[in-house]
Every structure is written in C-alpha cells, then in structure tokens.
Structure 1
C-alpha cells in the first residue's frame, strides 16, 4: 500500500495547503481527494507534485507492506 503521510507532513512544514498544491501542480480536486484518502494516483500526478515541491517521490510517499493474516 502507498501512503501519502509524508506529503501531508511536508505541506504542513511548508505552510502550504492542499488547495495551493492542487492549483500549483494542476491536479484535480478528485485527485487531491484520492491522495487524502490514500488511494492510487498516476505517476503523472506524482511527477507534477514533485516538480512543484522540488522533491523526490520518496520524500512524499512511502510503500507500506499489506499485513497478512
């Protein structure tokens, strides 16, 4: 599972809102909602966010193994 908590932490540290990121990167409200819910987004979206924030993908997301029961 991909988690976006690093992105949300980074936005908080930079005093940037999700709305500001959305506008600066050109991603849609629906895509921002997907990120907020931890759902999948495209590599194009990840690239746009990285360009705006000047970071690497690993700075904004993390892969977390699914728990096996």
Structure 2
C-alpha cells in the first residue's frame, strides 16, 4: 500500500511556493518539505486541515491511495 502526497501539484495549481505555505501555516519549511517529498510517516489532521484551508482544497486533493501491485509483493 502506498499513500502518495500531491502537495506539489496543489501548490502549482494555486501558484504558491512551499515557502509561502510554510509561513502561512507557521510550520518549518523542512517539515513541509518532508511531507511534500512523501517521506513523512504521518500528518496531523490539524495540519491537513490548515493545508486544505490555505490551498482551498479537499484532503483527497493532497493524499492519494495507490494499492501495491501483486508483482511488488514478491
């Protein structure tokens, strides 16, 4: 199972830089970068809510579930 983070896509659609989102959320750029690159192990609902509010989107616009392919499990 893989959860894909599409934060970069939503930032591009809103013509916003990660730096601006970081400043508006009052969260470190490095923490947002970890999320953006898909290296985060978790995200707080409050952070996801704030991202959605700032980017005017839904959680499903940011997070996507992609099931493992059977050949990946070997």
1:68 aligns with 2:73: yes
Name the residue aligned to 2:49: 47
Structure 2 portions without partners, runs of 5+: none
1:2 and 1:63 in contact (8 A); partners too:
yes
- State the number of aligned residues: 68
TM-score (norm 2): 0.73
Cα RMSD (Å): 1.7
Structure 1 portions without partners, runs of 5+: none
CA shift, 1:37, in A, is: 2.4
Name the residue aligned to 1:21: 21
Compare CA radii of gyration and give the structure with the larger one. 2
Q: Give the strand-richer structure, 1 or 2.
A: 2
